[in-house]
Amino acid sequence: GAVVSQHPSRVICKSGTSVKIECRSLDFQATTMFWYRQFPKKSLMLMATSNEGSKATYEQGVEKDKFLINHASLTLSTLTVTSAHPEDSSFYICSARPGTSGGTGELFFGEGSRLTVL
């Protein structure tokens, strides 16, 4: 099946620094990738839709200046948490769907990245 890889899987940073998380589709091209955030014991909240070659589409309430998304190629999207604060600590998960059509509809998920801001 399709594989989506995230890196790093865990990152600890100091408050005020920026952290970049990479999401790669290893064996397929994805014009669209999705970034989710998961709080402890909570569901996945869609943060934004990452579109290759264009600006990301952010969900209501998500600060686009805080969470910078870049989709530079058909296999790579990055999420940068800028000037991170402890409340940004969370589990961030990316996902992608192979193909340019609806296809199987299935989203493939990365392994997730746990961010801890001290």
Partner 1 sequence: AQSVTQLDSQVPVFEEAPVELRCNYSSSVSVYLFWYVQYPNQGLQLLLKYLSGSTLVKGINGFEAEFNKSQTSFHLRKPSVHISDTAEYFCAVSDPGAGTALIFGKGTTLSVSS
Work out whether 101 is an interface residue with partner 1 (CB under 8 A): yes
Query: Binding residue for partner 1 (CB under 8 A) from 6, 75, 78, 90?
Result: 6
C-alpha distances in angstroms, 78 versus 1, 20, 107? 22, 7, 17
- Round to whole Å and give the CA distance between 89 and 85: 7
Work out whether 105 is an interface residue with partner 1 (CB under 8 A): yes
Work out whether 114 is an interface residue with partner 1 (CB under 8 A): yes
- Round to whole Å and give the CA distance between 88 and 86: 5
Chain positions contacting partner 1, by CB under 8 A:
6, 31-32, 34, 36, 41-44, 46, 49, 91, 93, 95, 97, 99-112, 114
